Amino acid sequence: MEFYDVLEKRRTIRDFSPREVPDEVLNRILAASFKAPTNDHLRQFEFVVVRGQEHIARLVAPVAQNTEDIQQTYIQTATEWMDKDEHAMFVDALPKQQRMLMQSNCLVLPFFRQKDCPLCQPVDQSSLNYFASAWAAVENILLAATAEGLACAFRIPIGNEPKHVKRLVNAPEDYEFTYFLAIGYPAPDAHICKQKAICVEERIHRNAW
């Protein structure tokens, strides 16, 4: 696929078919993460790949309850003040958070090494470089998956989720959990949220804002 077609085609898809993702395809996709820029040339990413409904269910166990809490306290009251496209996305995404992580039967748990400064106690912007590098790698993974004809959905862990995952997979103390990533073949009727209309010219400021 041509690069700009891949960019255009990459979308968050939260509905998967049962078709299994072959290991060699998954390896190519995860290898793409190491082609992204990283701070200090470290590339200290590690991935735990989890298959099998029982294993995945244990890892994502807190997701349903945590999401339910958000749904009740936040989204149901958000229609008046939330951006329309944002709201439509949440309405589709929130009920699918746990299901999407189970459905592809291929859950990837990316970790990055946080060498100094606890992740949630940065002293300045550059303390977040490890986190930022892990996020730069995300886009490479998503684009590689798209080029392979696969779909991805990810969830940012909230509340007790990072601790739960790190404990279950025995992650080393100095590695942080980045996000839950479901990779799979899209369901034939997979929902794709309406893309926001952006006028790029209006977003580019010449010499000063």
Ligand X SMILES: Cc1cc2nc3c(=O)[nH]c(=O)nc-3n(C[C@H](O)[C@H](O)[C@H](O)COP(=O)(O)O)c2cc1C
> Where on the chain is the footprint of ligand X (CB under 6 A)?
11-12, 14, 89, 93, 153-156, 193
Q: Least distance in Å: CB of 154 to ligand X?
A: 6
Residue listed under structure tokens 């200090």: 40
Taking the least distance from each CB to ligand X, the nearer of 89 and 119 is 89
Minimum CB separation of residue 96 from ligand X in Å reads 7
Q: Residue-wise over 62-97: b if at least 16 C-beta within 10 A, else e?
A: bbeebbeeeeeeebeeeeeeeeeeeeebbebbebbb
Q: Where are the beta strands (DSSP E) in the chain?
A: 45-50, 107-113, 151-155, 175-177, 180-184
Quick check: helix, strand or coil at residue 114? coil
* Count of beta carbons in the 10 Å neighbourhood of residue 198: 8
Taking the complex as a whole, the smallest distance from the CB of residue 142 to ligand X amounts, in Å, to 8
DSSP state of 115: -
Q: How far is the CB of 3 from ligand X (least distance, A)?
A: 17
In the complex, minimum distance from the CB of residue 14 to ligand X, in angstroms, rounded to a whole number: 6
For residue 97 the two structure tokens come to 């958070």
Tokens 């590690």 -> residue:
46
Nearer to ligand X, 12 or 71 (CB): 12
Cβ proximity to ligand X: between 27 and 160 the closer is 160
Q: Which is nearer to ligand X, 23 or 84 (CB)?
A: 84
- State which residue, 70 or 168, has the beta carbon closest to ligand X: 70
